[in-house]
């Protein structure tokens, strides 16, 4: 990010932006760049929802049942994540913040080992990407209680949105493209146009559907606005959870 922020604003050096960058602004007290002022938004690529998952042998079948279960067993329920400060961790902390439940966080070195332990019964719940976890759900090892988007997904149409049980809950990983600040408007416009044209092709859309993600073709101003919203949203969650860098 620092390298891109310091690069010539000629359209030839770009950066892949994700929710992690919005979170880093709150987690790290000192960064050598500012996400919102040093990076010019170009456009979006995709949005990814997360699944709230339990082991398939669990008697719990809905998110509301899970909330009742945790409230009856405070600090006895473990939730796994793909690492401290990662999106799966934030999903769990946002869930705690909005429901008032108290769970113990178990960070893993990535999503795959966490899902393996969830399937083995070593942790009781996990928020994981659809692309990484659908194989476990389809294979009968895990049960999806809810999805973190406001609506259902074509990739998992039987899974209800978590906001039906926790009003207002939403977690989306937004991924897009950024450029150095002061990149000329005509270059930004050309890049956005080419990106959105690619996203409109059947090849991209079929691949995205297979991965369980949604095309996010938006204008630079829309993408920039959502980055700013994410910075504000996750700052509250980071403060609530007291998340610190390792």
Distance between CA atoms of residues 158 and 154, nearest Å? 9
Question: What are the beta bridge partners of residue 55?
Answer: 142
Q: What is the pLDDT of residue 115?
A: 97
Residue-wise pLDDT tens digits, 123-181: 999 999 998 999 999 999 999 999 999 999 888 899 999 999 999 999 999 999 999 99
Q: What total of structural domains would you count in the chain?
A: 2
pLDDT at res. 212: 80
If phi > 0 it is left, if psi is from -120 to 50 it is alpha, else beta; for residue 135 that is alpha
Among 133, 164, 195, residue at a domain's last position: 164
Q: How many CB atoms lie within 10 A of CB 200?
A: 11
For residue range 202-233, what is the model confidence (pLDDT) as tens digits? 999 998 888 888 899 999 999 999 999 999 99
Same domain, 74 and 154: yes
What is the pLDDT, as a whole number, of residue 245? 82
What pLDDT score does 213 carry?
A: 87
Domain region containing 14 = 2-47+171-241
Same domain, 160 and 75: yes
Both 145 and 70 in one domain: the answer is: yes
Task: Examine residue 80 and state whether it is found in any structural domain, yes or no.
Answer: yes
Same domain, yes or no: 59 and 39: no
The per-residue pLDDT for 154 is 83
Helix (H, G, I), strand (E, B) or coil at 65: helix
246 belongs to a structural domain: no
- pLDDT score at 211: 80
Q: Identify the three-state secondary structure at position 33.
A: coil
Q: What percent of the chain has pLDDT over 90?
A: 91
**Residue 225 CB contacts under 8 Å (≥ 6 apart), including other chains:** none
| C-alpha pair distances (Å), 222 with each of 3, 176, 187, 197, 226 | 24, 11, 17, 17, 6
> What CATH number does the domain containing 214 carry?
3.40.190.150
Which CATH number belongs to the domain containing residue 152 in this structure? 3.40.190.10
Q: Are residues 80 and 96 in the same domain?
A: yes
Looking at 108, 132, 164, the residue that finishes a domain is: 164
């Amino acid at each position: 990010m620092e390298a891109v922020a310091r690069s010539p604003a000629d359209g030839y050096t770009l950066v892949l932006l994700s929710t992690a960058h919005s979170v880093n602004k709150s987690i790290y007290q000192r960064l050598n760049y500012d996400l919102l002022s040093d990076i010019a938004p170009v456009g979006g690529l995709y949005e990814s929802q997360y699944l709230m998952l339990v082991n398939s042998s669990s008697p719990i079948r809905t998110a509301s049942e899970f909330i009742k279960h945790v409230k009856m067993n405070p600090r006895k329920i473990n939730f796994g994540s793909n690492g401290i400060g990662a999106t799966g961790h934030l999903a769990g902390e946002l869930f705690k913040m909005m429901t008032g439940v108290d769970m113990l966080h178990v960070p893993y070195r990535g999503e795959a080992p966490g899902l393996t332990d969830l399937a083995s019964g070593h942790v009781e719940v996990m928020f994981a990407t659809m692309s990484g976890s659908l194989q476990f759900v389809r294979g009968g090892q895990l049960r999806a209680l809810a999805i973190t988007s406001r609506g259902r997904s074509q990739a998992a149409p039987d899974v209800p949105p978590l906001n039906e049980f926790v009003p207002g809950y939403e977690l989306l990983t937004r991924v897009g493209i950024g450029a150095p600040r002061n990149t000329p408007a005509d270059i930004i416009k050309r890049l956005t146009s080419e990106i959105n044209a690619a996203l409109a092709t059947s090849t991209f859309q079929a691949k995205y559907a297979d991965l369980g993600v949604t095309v996010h073709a938006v204008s630079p101003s829309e993408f920039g606005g959502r980055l700013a919203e994410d910075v504000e949203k996750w700052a509250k969650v980071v403060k609530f959870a007291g998340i610190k860098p390792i």
